[in-house]
Structures are given as structure tokens and as C-alpha cells.
């Protein structure tokens, strides 16, 4: 940075750079920066280093206090030189690398000089000139136009420059604090500084304008603090005055009273002077810069306005100033809108200030509500937090329609917004109910207050079930503010097990089903600590305190549900959805407790209920949940393994024996199998049960491959097997092959075994390939998905073991062509106008269309994996890439990810594929 030059024209002062003397001891650099002493110690023989104010700010916060004291002492000795140093400080902090010259303004009536004050550009020298008055100085700032106005200290990235900005603001505040009892009222310092900042704030250069505006806003904040100190001093003086006045008797005069009277007049005069300074900054800088073209300048103006309102509400908290914050709620830049919301939060958080904001609330409430839909997620979240404060402290500010809209944000994808909406819902819907019920009935009620709160929450969830049926999102949104309620599992299970006759405490079937979902979601939240799928992760690593809480929750879950889970399964065994959810609970147990606490009888009760459920139900969701629970309990490292494994094997034995008997009768009938509908239903149910357990358990010992393969061969030959039998048979055969492959990979096998497995896998691939042209759509899609998954596995059996190489298989060009044709016919399909009208008329079945859409996405993903891992030729991706624009909304994310992965695999082939895609598109458009 260049030093300040001072010209000596027409009686102008001539002086060198004013520097602050900082003693520098003979220590290392770190000790020097940490032990900056005041200039008064230089007489003790220490080495003295001259530092400018800019250098002090760059050094850090520790030096600011002592340097400000030194500057004040220097100002008392020579006002002009000290002021010039301060002027240079502001210019340097702007990042200006030019020259500042100053001359005294001799005449207040010299209009010629005033008219020449402007900002000009010299094309010949490439320099920018700015001349303005900082009375009694006329300042000329010169800097090169090449100076980067986008890279000055206040906007530079990094922690160092962030601290610099903080220290810059701190120095101004400390300067005002240290000056408030003396030089601030000399009629010279503040006039010059305010004139300087006003002049710089009018510059066309962003760096000068931004830096001076920040300085002015912090200066005004400090002046507001001085005003408050004066107000306190005035009140203290007034109390002393009243005391002395009451002590007077007769006509005696009191010297103390006269002194207090003079002190009162002095304080009033100082307050008037400070008020004049505040008005000068507000009118000269704030009113011009709060609408600056630079968003950062607008944001800092609004941010400081909020600070002034909180510090001095009697002066600033009125509609004349609130309107500026209200206007900035509509700013185009999210950062400005964010600062406006944060400023308002600090005001609405204080109930004593609300009465002064009634007009503002009525005028801008609708705008704040609408900001929950802001495109910037952080702005939307802060808007919701502001609405929480408004709801708490403003009476009747929200209508029921407003609340219903805001409640829906508990299902938002952005977690901070959803959590804020959850707090709004909890405080608005539940806390108000709590207050009313505590006044009316105190602690009455069979299950306590939490039972009533839970019922209110369930009613809210069920009322919105048509829009949102994911209770996990609701629980996650409420977790931060209502975890104690959501972890009251004792109350929840009491409600589920109790047959209530009292209307106010009873739950209907819908409430109980939803409550079970809440239990599962709260357990998952307590044990995992992560938001549900689709909602952004805010944290990944748990702290020691959170881990301890997680351990305690696990202990509570285990201790309670080991006892009550069999009862719950018994009571709700006939309800598929409830049972499927309840069967998820064992995965959150500490299973060692069964032995350590001698609770084996409760394990027997649980296994008995699980067996009854598996035998009774045919719903795939229940069967899969039961299979997963057995898988979790069948841990070889647990003492209970043998007990659980025996129970599982007994159950599977029953399933397999029954299935074999049914298949024997089924296959004997040949082409007439479709005539026995009862037998078909039984076979379908048995196959679904076996498939559900085959997914999580190795059933190779039961040798089911040959039986299910016979079914598939029969269907391939005569197309006489119903789809409800073919679909689970496909799954069973696929799982049988995968478990055999897993076993071979884990331990060595003979070549004959490998050749047999290869024969079986090739045969299954042919079956799936044949089924791609089946007349049943579900069978087509299932076959395609299983074939793609199997090709992924078989094509990557590259190994040095010659024996295992026999399992490797890659699709030929004919099969690749069939797969691509399937994608074109089943994924990239355009609905006709008649079909769209048909779907619009059947809005109650929209979920069917949604499921079909997700199935198309799954099919495309399966095929794209083949492209990414070179199972099929990369050129096949040409037909996929062509659909990027036309199918962007439906499949754009999948296609884009495929492009990215193929680039990582092979840049050259990926480039050739894109070129081929472009060529074909151009040719197609040309022919069209």
C-alpha cells in the first residue's frame, strides 16, 4: 500500500505519514504479535516499530485496544496528522493502491472549489481521480483503472480476510467507545470522518463504496451505543438531582444541586450532538446505500438497521424505519432477503417490542408467509423460523388457512425448512393444546398428557394422508423439538394394547396403524440419527454425547419391546400393514439381553408369533419383513442362534413340503393347470413365501431350483402357467442361482459343479430372454430386470482361476439388440392424447400411474448399469442419449449419471458415442 502524500498549497499542512509507535521486543515473531505494547513504553529502551492502522487491523484483534488509545493520544497532540492517518486507513482498507492528497479548505464560500469536486477518468494516464470534501479537508484520491474492484479486502475469500473484516469493524467500534467521553464532541473529528465516509460512499468504485458504507454503518452502531450510555447517565443524574432537591430546606442553595443541573445540561447537549451525527449518517449514507446495486452493500445496511432497532427501539423501531426492512424482503438477491429475515427475527423474538410492529405485521405478514416457498432454501428456512416467533408473540396473527399451508412444510425435502415447520406445528398445534388442558384438567387422563398430544398428531397426519403418507418425514421434522414425545414408547404401546371404551382416549384402527408407523419411524430416527431418503443429510458423524444417547435409547427400546412385542404381534396379527411394521422392531434390539436378562421365554413367544404370521399371511410385504427379522435374529455370533435357526428351519421345512406337494399335482395336470383356481392360488402363495425367505436365507439344501425351473420351462413351451405363479417362480430360480454362486465363490468347488451351475445360469438366461416377448407385461419387466442383474454378475467373473472362468458370460450382439429394443418399447413411450385424458378422468388411481413410472425408471437404470460396466457395447448408449432432452423430466438424472460414469470409464469411447448420437440426430432432423 502506498503512503499518504500531503501537499502544501495555499496554507495547506505539510506533514509526513502519521504512524503509531508500537514497541517491538527482541523476541520471535509469534511473541512480538502477542505482546504489542503501547507507545508510552518506548522510553524504556525498547526497539520501536512504526505501524499504520491498516497494518494493525491486519495483525489481529489483540492490538486494536492499545493502538486506539495511542491514536487518541496522537490526536490530542496533533489533530490534523492523526486525522490524515485515519483517512489513509479507510483508503487502504478499500484496497486502493493509489495516492491520497489533502489540502485545507480555507473558505466556506469558495464555490469554485466545491463545483470542481467530481470523479473523473484520464484516458492518457489511465488513472481515476476523485475529489471531494471531508471538511476542513479537500481530498483527492488517485488510483489506476486496472485495479480489480471485485477483489478488495472485504470480499476476498479465506479466513484471514474474514477476520480482517471483523477487525476493521471492531476498530471503528472501539474508537467510538474510547472517544465517547472526550474528542467525539470537539466538532472536528466526527465532522471530518462523516464527511469522508459520505464522499467515499458516493464513489462509482465498488471497493470504496462498500468499505465506506461498512465503516459508516458500524460507526452509527457505535453512536447508538453512545446514545444509550448518555441516556443511562442522564437518568442517573436526574435521580441524584431529585434526591438533592428533596434535601433542600428553606431558601438555602446547594452547590451539589447546581453541579447536577449543569451536568444535566451537558448531557442534553451531548445527546443532541450525537443525534445530529446519527442523522447525518442516516441521510447521507444509509438512505443512499440501502438500495445500492451491490447486494453485499444492501445486505449490510439492512443487517445493521436490525441491530439499531434492537439496541434502541425508542429511536428506530417505528414504521419509518421498518419499511426499509419490509421493502428488502422483495429483493432479487437471496442474501439481502436473508438479512432482512434475520433482522426481523431479532425483533419478533422480543415480546415487548411487538406492540410497535402491528402495522408492519399486518402489511408484510403475507409476504413473509410466501417466502417459505423461496427458491433459496436458506431463506425459506429462516422465513419459517420468523413465523415461529410471530406465532408465539403476536396474537391472532395467523388464520387457520395460513397455518394449514405452513404445516405442510414438515414434508419438505430441505431438512432445516422441515425442522422449522415441525417446530411451528409443535408449538402451534400441540403446545397450545397443552396449555389449555393443563388449566382444565391438570394431570388427569389414563395415559397422561402425551396420549392426547399423540392423538392430535395422528389426526393431523391422517387428515393430510392423501397428500403425504410418509410418516418418517413428519417424525424427522418434529425430532429436534419433540423428541421426548416421540420417544415415549411406553405411552404408545399402552395406547395400542389398551381396549379403550372412553371416547376421548380411544384410538380407531386408522389411528393405531399410523401410531405403529410413528413408533417405527421414531426408533429409526433414534438409532440411525439420519434423515429419511430424499431429505438432505446435515451431519454424518455423531458426537460422543449423541452416541451415548443412542446407546441409552437402544437399551430402552430393548428393555420395553422385548416384553410387549409378542403381545402387539398377537393383537394385530390379522392386519398386514401393522404386522409388517411391527416386524421391523427386532432389528433395533440388543439381542444379548435375551440371555443376559434371562428372557428366553419372551424369545420363544416372539418366534411363535412370527411363525404364526408367516403361515397365516400371503402379503409379500409381511413375508419379506418376517424373513428379514429371522435373518437379523439368526446371527451365528449370538447365543440364541441355535434356537432361532431351529425355529426358522422348521418353518421353511413346512413351506417346502407343502410347495412340493402342490407342484407335484400341478405339473401332472400339464396344459390343464389353469382350470384349478384354488390350487393356483395355493401354489402362488407358497412360492411367494419361499421367494421371500430365499431372498435373505440360503435355501440351497432344500434343492428348489429344479422344481421352479420345471414351472418356467412349462410356461416357455405352452404359455399355460398363470402369471401369479410365474413371477415368484422367476424370483425363486434367480435366488437359487445367486446362492449357489455365492457358495462357490466362498469355497472351492469341483469343475463338475461349476459346469452344472453354468448350464443352469445359461438356461435361466434363455428363459428370461424368451419371456421378454411374453404377453404379460409384469413377466416381461421382471424377466428383463433379472436378466440384466444376472448379466452384471456373470460378465464380471474375471479371475486368474481357470475353474471360475467357466462362469463368465457376456451377451452376444443379438441379445444386446433385444435388450435395447425392450428399452425403446417399454421405457421411452409417449402417451397419446386419449391416454392422458383417460388418466385425468381416473385421478383416484394416480398412484397406479406413479408406480408404473417408477418401474420404467428401474428398468432404465438396470440397462444403464450394463452400459456403464461395459456389459453391452457403449455405442448402445446412443439410443439412450437421444432421449435426454425429450425425456429430461422423467429420466434426465439417470441419463446424466450414465454420461458421467461412462466418461470415467473410457473418455474416448464416450466421446465417440456422443458424436454418433449427434450425427444420428442431425440426420433424423434433416430427413424430417
CA distance 417 to 381: 4
Contacts of 493 (CB under 8 A, 6+ apart): 519, 560, 561, 564, 568
Which three cell numbers, joined as nine digits, stand for 893?
Answer: 438424472
CA distance 353 to 347: 7
| 132 SS3 class | strand
Pairing of strands 47-51, 127-134: unpaired
pLDDT at 795: 83
CA distance 87 to 278: 20
Instruction: Using CA atoms of 205, 207, 213, 216 in order, give the dihedral in degrees to the nearest 10.
Output: -120
- Intra-chain end-to-end CA distance of the chain, in Å: 66
Pairing of strands 137-144, 99-104: antiparallel
With residues binned 3-state (H G I as helix, E B as strand, rest as coil), the percentages for the chain, rounded to 5, are: 70, 5, 25
Question: Residue 341's CB: how many other CB atoms inside 10 A?
Answer: 27
Which three cell numbers, joined as nine digits, stand for 564?
Answer: 410387549
Which three cell numbers, joined as nine digits, stand for 301?
Answer: 445496511
What would the 3-class secondary structure string for 623-648 be? HHHHHHHHHHHCCCCCCCHHHHHHHH
Q: Pick from 663, 683, 760, 769: which is nearest to 728 by CA?
A: 683
Question: Residue 916's CB: how many other CB atoms inside 10 A?
Answer: 15
Contacts of 332 (CB under 8 A, 6+ apart): none
19, 3 in Cβ contact below 8 A? Answer: no
Q: Pick from 791, 675, 659: which is nearest to 728 by CA?
A: 659
Q: Pick from 695, 764, 696: which is nearest to 730 by CA?
A: 764
CA distance 150 to 170: 23
Write the burial class of residue 158 (CB in 10 Å: 0-12 exposed, 13-18 middle, 19+ buried): exposed
Half-sphere exposure of residue 128: CA atoms within 13 angstroms, side-chain side: 16
Write the burial class of residue 502 (CB in 10 Å: 0-12 exposed, 13-18 middle, 19+ buried): exposed
Contacts of 590 (CB under 8 A, 6+ apart): 554, 555, 558
Rg (CA), the chain: 39
**Helical axes 620-633 vs 600-616, angle rounded to 10°:** 150
How far lies 508's CA from each of 362, 429, 574, in Å?
41, 21, 16
How far lies 837's CA from each of 47, 127, 840, 855, in Å?
89, 69, 5, 22
| 145 SS3 class | coil
CA distance 825 to 818: 10
Task: Answer yes or no: pTM beyond 0.85.
Answer: no
Q: Scanning the structure block, which residue is given the C-alpha cell 443512499?
A: 288
Which three cell numbers, joined as nine digits, stand for 682?
Answer: 395355493
Provide the residue count of the chain: 928
Q: Pick from 277, 333, 335: which is nearest to 303 by CA?
A: 335
Q: Pick from 341, 396, 346, 385: which is nearest to 364 by CA?
A: 341
| 403 SS3 class | helix
Question: Residue 77's CB: how many other CB atoms inside 10 A?
Answer: 9
Q: Pick from 756, 752, 747, 620: which is nearest to 688 by CA?
A: 620
Write the burial class of residue 26 (CB in 10 Å: 0-12 exposed, 13-18 middle, 19+ buried): exposed
CA distance 473 to 748: 47
User: What 8-state DSSP symbol labels residue 182?
Assistant: T
CA distance 473 to 440: 33
Which secondary-structure segment (H or E) carries 23?
A: strand 20-24
Question: Residue 176's CB: how many other CB atoms inside 10 A?
Answer: 23
752, 830 in Cβ contact below 8 A? Answer: no
User: Burial letters for 182-207: b for 16+ Cβ neighbours within 10 Å, e otherwise?
Assistant: ebbbeeebbbbbbbbbbbbbbbebbb
Extended beta strands in 282-428, E state: none
Strand partners, 103: 138
Backbone phi, psi, residue 132, to 5°: -155, 170
Can you say how many angstroms the Cα of residue 512 is from the centroid of all Cα atoms in its chain? 32
> Would you kindly state where each structural domain of the chain is located, as residue ranges?
842-927
273, 185 in Cβ contact below 8 A? Answer: yes
User: Burial letters for 303-326: b for 16+ Cβ neighbours within 10 Å, e otherwise?
Assistant: bbbbbbbbebbebbbeeebbebbb
CA distance 763 to 884: 35
Q: Scanning the structure block, which residue is given the C-alpha cell 471531508?
A: 134
Q: Is the peptide bond before 453 cis (omega within 30 degrees of 0)?
A: no
Can you say how many angstroms the Cα of residue 670 is from the centroid of all Cα atoms in its chain? 60
Which three cell numbers, joined as nine digits, stand for 717?
Answer: 413351451
User: What DSSP letter does each residue of 660-711 carry, written as one string?
Assistant: HHHHHHHHHTGGGGGG-HHHHHHHHHHHHHHHHHHHHS--GGG--HHHHHHH
Q: Average pLDDT for consecutive 10-residue bins of the chain (928 residues)?
A: 36 36 35 35 41 74 82 90 86 75 53 47 61 70 64 86 90 91 88 90 88 95 94 88 72 72 89 94 95 95 96 94 96 96 95 92 95 96 96 89 92 93 90 52 59 90 74 93 93 85 67 94 91 73 86 94 96 94 95 90 95 94 96 91 95 95 81 66 94 95 93 88 94 95 83 90 95 94 95 75 74 93 89 53 63 92 93 90 89 92 87 88 78
Contacts of 844 (CB under 8 A, 6+ apart): none
User: What 8-state DSSP symbol labels residue 430?
Assistant: I
Strand partners, 50: 21
Amino acid at each position: 500500500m502506498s503512503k499518504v502524500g500531503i501537499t502544501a498549497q495555499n496554507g495547506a499542512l505539510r506533514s509526513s505519514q502519521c504512524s503509531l509507535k508500537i514497541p517491538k521486543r527482541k523476541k520471535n515473531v509469534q511473541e512480538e504479535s502477542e505482546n504489542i505494547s503501547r507507545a508510552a513504553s518506548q522510553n524504556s529502551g525498547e526497539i520501536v516499530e512504526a505501524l499504520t492502522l491498516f497494518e494493525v487491523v491486519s495483525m489481529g484483534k489483540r492490538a486494536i485496544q492499545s493502538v486506539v488509545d495511542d491514536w487518541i493520544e496522537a490526536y490530542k497532540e496533533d489533530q490534523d496528522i492523526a486525522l490524515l492517518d485515519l483517512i489513509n486507513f479507510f483508503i487502504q482498507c478499500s484496497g486502493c493502491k493509489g495516492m491520497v492528497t489533502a489540502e485545507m479548505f480555507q473558505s466556506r464560500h469558495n464555490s469554485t472549489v466545491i463545483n470542481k469536486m467530481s470523479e473523473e477518468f484520464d484516458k492518457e494516464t489511465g488513472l481515476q481521480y476523485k475529489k471531494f470534501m471531508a471538511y476542513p479537508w479537500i481530498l483527492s484520491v488517485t488510483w489506476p483503472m486496472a485495479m480489480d474492484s471485485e477483489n478488495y479486502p472485504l470480499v476476498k475469500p479465506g479466513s484471514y480476510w474474514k477476520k480482517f473484516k471483523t477487525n476493521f469493524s471492531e476498530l471503528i467500534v472501539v474508537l467510538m467507545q474510547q472517544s465517547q467521553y472526550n474528542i467525539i464532541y470537539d466538532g472536528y473529528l466526527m465532522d471530518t470522518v462523516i464527511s469522508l465516509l459520505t464522499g467515499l460512499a458516493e464513489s462509482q468504485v465498488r471497493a470504496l463504496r462498500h468499505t465506506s458504507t461498512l465503516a459508516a454503518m458500524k460507526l452509527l452502531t457505535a453512536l447508538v451505543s453512545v446514545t444509550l450510555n448518555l441516556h443511562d447517565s442522564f437518568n442517573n443524574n436526574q435521580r441524584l438531582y431529585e434526591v438533592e432537591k428533596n434535601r433542600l430546606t428553606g431558601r438555602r442553595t446547594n452547590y451539589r444541586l447546581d453541579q447536577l443541573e449543569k451536568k444535566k445540561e451537558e448531557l442534553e447537549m451531548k445527546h443532541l450532538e450525537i443525534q445530529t451525527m446519527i442523522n447525518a449518517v442516516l441521510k447521507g449514507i444509509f438512505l443512499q446505500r440501502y438500495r445500492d446495486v451491490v447486494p453485499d452493500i444492501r445486505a449490510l445496511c439492512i443487517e445493521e438497521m436490525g441491530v439499531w432497532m434492537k439496541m434502541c427501539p425508542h429511536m428506530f423501531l417505528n414504521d419509518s424505519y421498518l419499511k426499509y426492512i419490509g421493502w428488502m424482503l422483495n429483493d432479487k438477491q437471496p442474501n439481502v432477503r436473508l438479512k432482512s429475515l434475520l433482522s426481523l427475527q431479532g425483533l419478533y423474538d422480543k415480546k415487548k417490542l411487538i406492540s410497535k410492529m402491528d402495522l408492519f405485521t399486518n402489511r408484510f405478514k403475507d409476504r413473509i408467509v410466501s417466502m417459505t416457498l423461496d427458491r433459496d432454501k436458506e431463506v425459506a428456512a429462516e422465513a419459517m423460523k420468523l413465523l415461529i416467533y410471530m406465532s408465539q408473540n403476536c396474537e391472532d396473527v395467523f388464520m387457520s388457512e395460513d397455518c394449514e399451508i405452513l404445516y405442510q412444510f414438515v414434508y419438505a425435502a430441505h431438512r432445516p425448512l422441515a425442522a422449522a415447520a415441525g417446530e411451528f406445528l409443535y408449538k402451534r398445534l400441540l403446545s397450545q393444546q397443552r396449555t389449555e388442558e393443563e388449566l382444565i384438567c391438570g394431570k388427569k387422563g389414563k395415559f397422561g398428557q402425551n396420549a392426547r398430544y399423540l392423538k392430535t398428531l395422528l389426526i393431523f397426519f391422517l387428515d393430510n394422508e392423501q397428500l403425504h403418507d410418509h410418516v418418517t418425514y413428519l417424525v424427522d421434522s418434529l425430532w429436534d423439538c419433540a423428541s421426548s414425545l416421540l420417544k415415549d414408547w411406553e405411552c404408545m404401546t399402552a395406547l395400542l394394547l389398551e381396549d379403550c371404551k372412553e371416547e376421548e382416549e380411544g384410538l380407531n384402527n386408522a389411528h393405531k396403524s399410523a401410531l405403529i408407523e410413528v413408533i417405527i419411524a421414531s426408533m429409526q430416527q433414534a438409532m440411525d440419527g439420519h434423515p429419511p431418503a430424499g431429505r438432505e443429510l446435515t451431519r454424518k458423524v455423531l458426537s460422543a454425547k449423541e452416541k451415548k444417547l443412542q446407546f441409552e435409547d437402544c437399551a430402552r427400546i430393548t428393555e420395553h419391546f422385548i416384553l410387549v412385542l409378542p403381545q402387539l404381534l398377537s393383537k394385530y396379527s390379522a392386519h398386514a400393514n401393522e404386522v409388517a411394521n411391527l416386524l421391523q422392531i427386532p432389528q433395533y434390539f440388543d439381542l444379548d439381553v435375551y440371555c443376559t436378562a434371562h428372557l428366553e421365554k419372551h424369545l420363544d413367544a416372539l418366534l411363535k408369533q412370527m411363525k404364526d404370521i408367516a403361515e397365516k399371511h400371503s402379503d409379500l410385504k409381511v413375508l419379506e419383513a418376517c424373513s428379514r427379522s429371522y435373518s437379523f435374529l439368526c446371527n451365528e455370533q449370538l447365543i440364541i442362534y441355535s434356537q432361532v435357526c431351529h425355529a426358522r428351519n422348521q418353518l421353511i421345512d413346512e413351506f417346502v413340503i407343502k410347495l412340493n406337494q402342490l407342484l407335484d399335482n400341478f405339473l401332472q395336470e400339464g396344459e390343464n393347470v389353469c382350470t384349478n383356481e384354488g390350487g393356483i392360488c395355493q401354489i402362488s402363495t407358497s412360492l411367494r413365501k419361499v421367494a421371500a425367505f430365499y431372498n435373505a436365507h440360503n435355501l440351497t439344501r432344500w434343492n428348489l431350483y429344479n422344481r421352479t425351473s420345471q414351472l418356467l420351462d412349462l410356461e416357455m413351451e405352452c404359455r399355460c402357467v398363470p402369471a401369479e405363479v410365474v413371477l415368484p417362480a422367476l424370483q425363486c430360480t434367480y435366488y437359487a442361482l445367486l446362492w449357489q454362486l455365492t457358495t462357490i465363490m466362498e469355497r472351492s468347488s469341483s469343475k463338475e459343479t461349476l459346469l452344472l451351475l453354468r448350464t443352469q445360469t445359461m438356461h435361466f438366461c434363455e428363459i428370461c430372454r424368451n419371456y421378454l416377448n411374453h404377453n404379460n407385461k409384469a413377466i416381461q419387466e421382471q424377466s428383463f430386470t433379472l436378466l440384466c442383474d444376472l448379466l452384471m454378475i456373470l460378465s464380471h467373473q474375471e479371475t486368474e482361476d481357470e475353474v471360475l472362468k467357466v462362469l463368465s458370460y457376456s451377451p452376444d450382439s443379438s441379445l444386446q439388440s433385444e435388450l435395447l429394443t425392450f428399452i425403446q418399447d417399454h421405457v421411452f413411450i409417449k402417451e397419446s392424447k386419449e391416454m392422458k385424458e383417460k388418466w385425468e378422468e381416473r385421478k383416484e388411481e394416480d398412484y397406479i400411474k406413479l408406480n408404473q413410472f417408477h418401474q420404467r425408471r428401474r428398468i432404465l437404470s438396470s440397462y444403464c448399469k450394463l452400459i456403464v460396466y461395459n456389459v453391452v457395447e457403449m455405442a448402445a448408449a446412443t439410443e439412450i442419449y437421444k432421449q435426454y432432452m425429450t425425456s429430461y423430466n422423467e429420466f434426465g438424472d439417470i441419463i446424466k449419471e450414465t454420461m458421467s460414469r461412462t466418461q470415467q470409464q473410457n473418455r474416448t469411447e464416450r466421446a465417440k458415442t456422443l458424436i454418433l448420437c449427434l450425427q444420428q440426430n442431425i440426420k433424423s432432423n434433416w430427413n424430417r
